[in-house]
């Protein structure tokens, strides 16, 4: 398998999932300024959406959209318990959580990264995100992870999205359960390995 990624983007979520799953894979970085990969390929020819992540499977199939990719990865190694069994109600809850992160958090950050978005609107966006952070903080006050006591692909995705706060001047201190969650997940070996591989963390001395 090959994961097309951009450092720190939402592609970090399936990158973490692949390492948590213990699967063999390659990484190929995408330069969005030129729409080329590190191997010189036209990324639009690889993925017509032009976005990351994209996971190229060994049989030539290409998967896009992070929530779909992480569930595919989890189902490859059910013994790792990165997602509940397909068809179970717990799996529906996991899908519910992935959709919440995707629509209410992930997309909520988009205006904050836009140079064209006026500061007044960015203030409105941050206020709306704060309401969503309240929801997340309450959930994490009940359990160490978003869907319960065990780490799942939901938590990898949530960790990545919440990590963007450092780039848009949002202080997470008002949400102590989120802060504890970020520390907890950030200390996982698979997460450290993914961050290091993407150049987001210095290698251990």
CA–CA separation, 176 vs 154, rounded Å? Answer: 19
pLDDT confidence of residue 203? 84
> Dihedral of the CA atoms 130, 135, 139, 144 (nearest 10)?
-20
* CATH assignment of the domain containing 93: 1.20.1050.10
- 29-67 per-position pLDDT tens digit: 999 999 999 999 999 999 999 999 999 999 999 999 999
DSSP state of 40: S
For residue 42, list its beta bridge partners.
36
Give the pLDDT score at 204: 74
Find out whether 189 and 198 touch, Cβ atoms under 8 Å.
Answer: no
Q: What is the pTM of this model?
A: 0.97
Q: Do 93 and 71 lie in a common domain?
A: no
**Segments in the chain below pLDDT 70:** 205
- pLDDT for residue 164: 98
Same domain? 32 vs 96? no
Whether 202 maps to a domain, the answer reads: no
Q: Which single residue is written with the structure tokens 């799953």?
A: 21
Enclosing domain of residue 150: 89-188
Q: What is the CATH number of the domain that holds 49?
A: 3.40.30.10
CA distance 200 to 148: 28
pLDDT of residue 205: 61
């Amino acid at each position: 398998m090959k994961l097309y990624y951009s450092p720190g983007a939402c592609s970090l979520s399936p990158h973490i999932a692949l390492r948590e799953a213990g699967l063999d894979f390659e990484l190929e970085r995408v330069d969005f300024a030129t729409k080329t990969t590190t191997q010189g390929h036209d990324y639009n020819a690889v993925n017509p959406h032009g976005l990351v992540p994209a996971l190229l499977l060994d049989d030539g199939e290409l998967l896009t959209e992070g929530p779909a990719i992480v569930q595919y990865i989890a189902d490859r190694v059910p013994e790792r318990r990165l997602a509940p069994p397909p068809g179970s109600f717990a799996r529906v809850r996991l899908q519910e959580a992935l959709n919440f992160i995707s629509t209410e958090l992930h997309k909520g950050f988009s205006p904050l990264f836009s140079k064209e978005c006026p500061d007044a609107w960015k203030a409105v966006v941050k206020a709306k995100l704060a309401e969503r952070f309240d929801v997340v903080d309450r959930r994490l006050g009940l359990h160490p992870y978003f869907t319960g006591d065990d780490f799942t692909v939901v938590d990898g995705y949530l960790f990545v999205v919440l990590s963007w706060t450092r780039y848009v001047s949002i202080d997470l201190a008002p949400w102590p359960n989120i802060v504890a969650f970020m520390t907890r997940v950030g200390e996982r070996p698979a997460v450290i390995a993914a961050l290091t591989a993407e150049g987001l963390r210095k290698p251990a001395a």
